[in-house]
Structure 1
Amino acid sequence: MSEGDSRRKIGAQVTAKACHVVHLSECARRYGALRTTKVVVGTVVEVNNTRKAPNNRVSTFITADFDIGGGSVKRSTLNIRSVKLFKPDQSTVPSSPAAPIPAVDNADTDLAVPEQEEGEAVLQETSPDEELEFPAQPMMEIGIAAGEQVAGPTAQVATQVWGVEDASFVMAHETKWYADEQATLIDINGSVQSKQFGINTPIGDLLGPDSDIDGKYSRLQYFLLMFQPDQLSAMCQLTNVQLAQQNKHCMSTGELLRFFGILILATKFEFSSRSQLWSTTAPSKYIPAPAFGKTGMSRQRFDDLWRNIRWSNQCPERPEGMSSHTFRWQLVDDFVERYNNHRANTFKPSHLICVDESMSRWYGQGGEWINHGLPNYVAIDRKPENGCEIQNAACGCSGIMLRLKVVKGKTAAEDDGDYNEQLLHGTKILKELVLPWWWTDRIVCADSYFSSVGTAMELQRHGLRFIGVVKTATKQYQMRYLSTLELNQRGERRGLVMRDVDTNYSTLLAFVWMDRDRRYFVSSASSLDAGKPYVRYRWRQIDQSPDADPERLEIIIPQPKAAELYYSACGMIDRHNRSRQDTLMLERKLGTTNWLTRVNLSIFGMIVVDTWLAYSLCTGIGRANGREEKQKDFYTALAEELVDNQYDNVGSRRVFVEANLDNDSPALSRTTGEPRSGLYAHLTPTKKRRKNKDGSFSSNRLQGRCLVCSKKTTYVCSVCKDEETPHSREPWVCYTTKGKLCYANHMATCHGA
């Protein structure tokens, strides 16, 4: 190397590849697809010559301050072989004024759908048969620049239809994407009205956020709201058929609920065999014995139900033409179908819907290659568990599951008859998961498994919005252009819009946003306007002195409204999965070698988690001072209420009531068998007692709020009490003392008296 090399001079300008100056991951965040080819300019601050001892060769190292963009300067020391002298080229020299665009003879150009004509600015066209070098400059520099004078009919088209700035576009599979910064700041397809979730009760109430602060509904009642009632009766009927074949006693609905309670209660203990749960001998002097016999169900009875429980109906014999896999999946199908119908009829989701997948933990035998074990075994590296995959949709605000679809494999999909539908597989699945909410203008948030431009357009045809992350399904998506844009700071974003040629309105938004890495989105809702920044707290070693303590810093990252909306909902199903697998732990504590039991228990676990979410959001438990209740404590309390349920006793006489008493006997109540105060309509004291903290009942009567004046009382209407159902509440009415007219108003309003 000659001594006159200009690169050796202090203050000289040199260039080097960005990947040699900063880490490759930082280059990927800033420069995207140009991470290995981007060249940065620096100023030499130091030159060192180093002689290596073995061969006595001299190496020259140049230290320079490189401008990596966005005002950031990085000092780096590189071998002189990785550094070149900076030479200004024509791209860095101010260009001369643009020559006028030749006029086009056809002055009657159709302005609604502008075609590419002479002089029209086309940024880039992606062709599957041709590889093009994509420029890294901003889009407006490639097309017609803002304020540039353009002559001829092309200027009229640009000005009258889209404006000068909007005439720049890029092509992706015959789809035009326009660079319009102002359009990206306006909500695509208009704003979406915010909605709160709601749960319809059998008595006509609508439960929503903080609507049950007084705790009118118990945990058991919330469970019955989440668990489909027709599933309870179907399970009793199907299980009793199995029990009758073995000469076992039939199971009632109350006993089934007690069985559910014992399943949840078993997750609170450590055991190697289920028989230990019924042991009355303590395993340690510091650990009490489980003694599950106190639940009212013996170990033998529990084992009988465990072996014979049925969740869905299966044909006695496989029909001709049905595959073995489809026939075996019938043991799950009815449960899933009833679950979906129940949620569609009784639950109203918020304006956001999250779509993702869950895993039912299974490490036994299975697969399409053998008619034994799980019919379709799924193992995905990025998933913490292997087993049965269940695709699902959930409310984006509450996290409550809305709809399930079991992944049955290719064989079962072909039996369904829609395997070869001309849609992307993710789009087809997504349409099925959000089917009950078509034409409701809700926003669906999904990950890259479902996301594509085709998905967003297909949901638009069915009255739904969409926001999703794009990774591999890039058909009609301008990934090539967005991946070459240079972003310098976290929170920066750039976008393109797709326009409707008839209405000239923006219908889709494609944008890239820089966080820890670059993330690409397609959206038919919201905009790139500044949203609420999100905050991260991270430990950083600010003081580099020895033994210095790290500091906890607050990192604030700007994000667009579209990204804010997406990330507020996209993690709901993952949170639901963690609650089911790591907090409830049904799948870990209750081992089984029967795939049917495992899959159905996983769906049952989803219902239990939904019960917790509904109860905590409606009652405010966990947010109100003095009323905190952890998720694990809720499961324990729910198990207690399930075990102690009076489902079989509600609406029937007590055991000690004589059989020959008439239903209208003035001596006893027709529902509880307790003494009553008279015949026909009258006020009677409630037969319920207050419950002590230890679970016992006191001698004081229970109080409730009057249906008319909402004041406390211990009296109920006898007519309403005689007509009560398992889901009814106590018909509280004030007594006639002190001139109160609550009873008279109640009789006139409710009973026409």
Structure 2
Amino acid sequence: MVVGINFGDRVVGKSAKTRGKRGVVEVVVKEKRQHSYDVLWDDGQRERIAARSLALETSSNATTEVPTLPMASFSTNEAFSCDSSSEEDDKDVYFADAHGATALGSLTRRVECIGRTWEKCDDVLDEPAAAKKHETKFKWPEVLALGSKAHAKYFYLMFPMEYMVSLDTPTRTLIQHVKPTPRPVAGSSFCDGVRPMKRDFREYWNEGDAEHDDDTRSVDTPRRFGTRFGMSRRRFETLTAAFCLHDPDDTNEDPWFPVRDFICAFNKRRNDVVHAGTYLCVDESMVQWYGTEVKYHHLGLPHKTKNPRKPMSQGAEIKPIAVAESGVLVGIELVERKLRQRDKQFTHQFGEGTAITLRLTSPFYGSRRIVVGDSAFASVKTLAELERRGLYFMELVKTALSGYPKQHMVQRSATARRGDAYVMRNESPFGTMMYALRWSDRKPKCIIANRGTTAPGNDSIRTRHKIVRHGDGTSKTVRFTLQVRRPHMVEKVFAAFSAVDVHNHYRQGSLSMEKGWPTKTWWHRVFGSVFGMIITDAFMAYKHENVHTDSDSFGEFLSKLAWQQIFNEYISNRKRSRIQSDLETKYAHARENNGRAQRKCKMCGKKCAFICSTCSISEENHFFPLCSSISKRKCHAQHMVQAK
């Protein structure tokens, strides 16, 4: 395709058949990879000419007198129409009358797109509407506001602590007489995220050097779980295996009921402790899961999303909304199967993308905040419905083109310089203006917005590298910066739209809870991923409140948070009490490690390392050596029979 030829342009023929002819492009036809054009020649003839046979008329090849062009027989008004339902239509035809060329660039140029008339405007110098500016703040509970704000307090601020009560009951139903202690479990999960152990998991029960603990205070400090918490390794493994988010006997019809309460508690906690800023970002996240799904196994994941474009290509999809200024998530929603998604609020009226945006932003209705979404949510319909509910919208438009003049704006970018902007406007159903802006970058980017201006903003600065080869055969990599002009509206969109992506990079790239907590149970995986979101939110809140100080990096934050969770100052060392029951007499002859040199067993005469705690009198240095049951000998059982 010849760059720069559009409907209404004057062209000259350059093939043997058309050389010397001049005319106006009436129709642009995209039937093949190379466009063709219906041209009205100055002699009144119409022909369909291939792009390779035409060239734009310039001052060097134009005649001194431009003849008056006859009116096209099929066009009676000055507006033209464009099919904007899809970027990949098999055939897109654009009509323009003969006066279109003279009207191009003026305020009278209009585009009809699915019932909406867009007209070109030169600039947007005033904010379309006055919006209240909000500042991101965290509402600290009194119990956490006392004293200094340690790293662990940011975690307690973000974690729904009231949900821990509901976790205790179902776990007890699977394992009796054991009190779950989630903080050591959480601490070990932090450690795996910060620095996964390449040795055995039993390293968490390594006693190490007691004096070394208070000196390093890092993730490499010996954990000493057995001493600090009175918890053996096997008891810990039993707890994690029995960890349950729901009542095992519950027959709820909701396929997501094991994690539904936790998701609701997450959202409620965010509404209670986070006051969102002016800009909100709606995007998507993935919970990695390569295990089975429910259509192959009754205990499989209820719905698996498969997207090869994502770094985590398979798993449960979550739609989050974040505060752009701080990066903290203020709400999440699970993506379920198609039929369940259709039954959710707003889906029947507005479709999937708009419905998800309306549900996630519902706590902020009427606050005049600005929603910046992923292109999956960007459409004219989303903007109109958010405006109806007291919110503004700004986002890149890629595929949801109904009522949006993207084809026209992209074609006008063929001759634009990098950094140029092209703006069109349309009146919304509420009497305000919405704007379609095309910013010419390496590829043209189209934005739908009802906030912002086209006043010059800060340049987009990109770091680039190139290899410089010298005459002597050596080469050197040179680093330089590329600056691209951009309007204020574009600057605001790109400053806010990556908030969820940055959050995902921290959670999945640096923390990697999915790798630190391997499991074959899908609700453990969803819980672990949301748990990772909470940890990342704690770091984002810490970073936002310490933006003017020398704050820790994400790795340092995780290391200190893991230490504070494992060696928690709010938890005293506990010891397991003896079980009082009628069986105490029976187990009075249980073996006990003597901690000294081996002795000969009183029953079989072979060497052993255990003694009978009842028959031995340590004060008189009198011991009753006895083989243990793990030696696969019957000495212990025979001694219990004789002692009756």
TM-score by length of 2: 0.71
Q: Give the secondary-structure state (helix, strand or coil) at the position aligned to 1:607.
A: helix
Seen in structure 2, the aligned counterparts of structure 1 residues 462 and 140 have a Cα distance that, compared at 3 Å, is: farther
Aligned-pair CA distance for 1:140: 10
Contact 1:443 1:464 in 2 (8 A): yes
Indicate which of 426, 440, 443 corresponds to 2:370.
443
Seen in structure 2, the aligned counterparts of structure 1 residues 130 and 250 have a Cα distance that, compared at 3 Å, is: closer
Alignment partner, residue 468 of structure 1: 395
The residue identity in structure 2 corresponding to 1:348 is H
Seen in structure 2, the aligned counterparts of structure 1 residues 181 and 234 have a Cα distance that, compared at 3 Å, is: same
1:242-274 Cα distance to aligned partner (Å, 9 max, x none): 33xxx23223xxx32232112212332323653
Contact 2:384 2:429 in 1 (8 A): no
Alignment partner, residue 167 of structure 1: 108
Q: Is 1:303 aligned with 2:237?
A: yes
1:17-38 Cα distance to aligned partner (Å, 9 max, x none): xxxxxxxxxxxxxxx9999449
The 2-side partners of 1:33 and 1:92 are apart by 30
1:125-158 Cα distance to aligned partner (Å, 9 max, x none): 5498996643799x99647468xxxxxxxxxxxx
The 2-side partners of 1:603 and 1:133 are apart by 48
Aligned-pair CA distance for 1:398: 0.7
Q: Is 1:526 aligned with 2:458?
A: no
Q: Give the secondary-structure state (helix, strand or coil) at the position aligned to 2:348.
A: coil
Q: Is 1:573 aligned with 2:491?
A: no
Q: Give the secondary-structure state (helix, strand or coil) at the position aligned to 1:166.
A: coil
Q: Is 1:632 aligned with 2:555?
A: yes
1:643-695 Cα distance to aligned partner (Å, 9 max, x none): 23244569xxxx9xxxxxxxxxxxxxxxxxxxxxxxxxxxxxxxxxxxxxxxx
The 2-side partners of 1:233 and 1:539 are apart by 55
Q: Is 1:221 aligned with 2:186?
A: no
Aligned-pair CA distance for 1:570: 1.3
Aligned-pair CA distance for 1:191: 4.4
Q: Is 1:257 aligned with 2:183?
A: yes
Q: Note the residue ranges of structure 1 that are not aligned, 5 or more in a row.
A: 1-12, 17-31, 40-80, 102-117, 147-164, 207-211, 656-753
The 1-side partners of 2:393 and 2:338 are apart by 27
Q: Give the secondary-structure state (helix, strand or coil) at the position aligned to 2:164.
A: helix
The 1-side partners of 2:197 and 2:90 are apart by 63
The residue identity in structure 2 corresponding to 1:393 is I
Aligned-pair CA distance for 1:294: 5.0
Map 1:266-665; keep pairs closer than 5 Å.
266-267=192-193, 268-271=195-198, 274-278=201-205, 292-293=225-226, 295-296=228-229, 297-311=231-245, 313-314=246-247, 316-318=249-251, 322=253, 326=254, 328-385=255-312, 386-413=314-341, 416=343, 418=345, 421-485=348-412, 486-500=414-428, 503=431, 505-506=432-433, 508-541=434-467, 545=471, 546-620=473-547, 624=549, 627-647=550-570
Contact 1:395 1:401 in 2 (8 A): yes
Seen in structure 2, the aligned counterparts of structure 1 residues 273 and 383 have a Cα distance that, compared at 3 Å, is: farther
Alignment partner, residue 134 of structure 1: 94
1:617-660 Cα distance to aligned partner (Å, 9 max, x none): 2134xx63xx442211211211121223244569xxxx9xxxxx
Indicate which of 128, 135, 139 corresponds to 1:196.
135
Alignment partner, residue 169 of structure 2: 237
Aligned-pair CA distance for 1:167: 3.1
The residue identity in structure 2 corresponding to 1:425 is E
Contact 2:277 2:324 in 1 (8 A): yes
The 1-side partners of 2:90 and 2:559 are apart by 64
Seen in structure 2, the aligned counterparts of structure 1 residues 384 and 131 have a Cα distance that, compared at 3 Å, is: closer
The 2-side partners of 1:85 and 1:127 are apart by 26
Aligned-pair CA distance for 1:14: 9.9
The 2-side partners of 1:566 and 1:239 are apart by 46
The residue identity in structure 1 corresponding to 2:256 is W
The 1-side partners of 2:531 and 2:56 are apart by 69
Aligned-pair CA distance for 1:561: 1.6
The residue identity in structure 2 corresponding to 1:186 is D
Q: Give the secondary-structure state (helix, strand or coil) at the position aligned to 1:176.
A: strand
Seen in structure 2, the aligned counterparts of structure 1 residues 407 and 35 have a Cα distance that, compared at 3 Å, is: same
Seen in structure 2, the aligned counterparts of structure 1 residues 127 and 533 have a Cα distance that, compared at 3 Å, is: closer
**RMSD of Structure 2 on Structure 1 (CA):** 4.0
Seen in structure 2, the aligned counterparts of structure 1 residues 573 and 119 have a Cα distance that, compared at 3 Å, is: same
Alignment partner, residue 698 of structure 1: none
The 2-side partners of 1:121 and 1:301 are apart by 80
The 2-side partners of 1:513 and 1:442 are apart by 24
The residue identity in structure 1 corresponding to 2:273 is T
Aligned-pair CA distance for 1:604: 0.5
Contact 2:320 2:329 in 1 (8 A): yes
1:170-206 Cα distance to aligned partner (Å, 9 max, x none): 1000111111113x3433x324444321110113999
Contact 1:34 1:484 in 2 (8 A): no
Alignment partner, residue 122 of structure 1: 79
Map 1:73-152; keep pairs closer than 5 Å.
92=62, 121-124=78-81, 126=83, 133-134=93-94, 142=101, 144=103
Aligned-pair CA distance for 1:459: 0.7
Alignment partner, residue 176 of structure 1: 117
The 2-side partners of 1:513 and 1:502 are apart by 26
Contact 1:495 1:509 in 2 (8 A): yes
1:336-393 Cα distance to aligned partner (Å, 9 max, x none): 0011111112211111111111111111111545423211112211111121111100
Contact 2:84 2:402 in 1 (8 A): no
The residue identity in structure 2 corresponding to 1:510 is A
Aligned-pair CA distance for 1:317: 4.0
Seen in structure 2, the aligned counterparts of structure 1 residues 549 and 36 have a Cα distance that, compared at 3 Å, is: farther
1:593-622 Cα distance to aligned partner (Å, 9 max, x none): 1111111010011001111111122134xx
Aligned-pair CA distance for 1:335: 0.3
The 1-side partners of 2:56 and 2:459 are apart by 41
Q: Give the secondary-structure state (helix, strand or coil) at the position aligned to 1:384.
A: coil
The 1-side partners of 2:52 and 2:379 are apart by 42
The residue identity in structure 1 corresponding to 2:232 is S
Seen in structure 2, the aligned counterparts of structure 1 residues 281 and 480 have a Cα distance that, compared at 3 Å, is: same
Contact 1:581 1:588 in 2 (8 A): no
The 1-side partners of 2:356 and 2:65 are apart by 52
The 2-side partners of 1:466 and 1:33 are apart by 35
Contact 1:427 1:454 in 2 (8 A): yes
Q: Is 1:248 aligned with 2:180?
A: no
Aligned-pair CA distance for 1:233: 2.2
Q: Give the secondary-structure state (helix, strand or coil) at the position aligned to 1:440.
A: coil
Contact 1:123 1:143 in 2 (8 A): no
The 2-side partners of 1:260 and 1:237 are apart by 18
Q: Give the secondary-structure state (helix, strand or coil) at the position aligned to 2:386.
A: helix
Seen in structure 2, the aligned counterparts of structure 1 residues 98 and 14 have a Cα distance that, compared at 3 Å, is: closer
Aligned-pair CA distance for 1:288: 9.0
Contact 1:166 1:179 in 2 (8 A): yes
The 1-side partners of 2:416 and 2:110 are apart by 23
Identity of aligned pairs, percent?
Answer: 23
Contact 1:33 1:483 in 2 (8 A): no
Q: Give the secondary-structure state (helix, strand or coil) at the position aligned to 1:331.
A: helix
The 1-side partners of 2:95 and 2:482 are apart by 32
Seen in structure 2, the aligned counterparts of structure 1 residues 570 and 275 have a Cα distance that, compared at 3 Å, is: same
The 1-side partners of 2:407 and 2:355 are apart by 26
Contact 1:143 1:167 in 2 (8 A): no
Aligned-pair CA distance for 1:571: 1.2
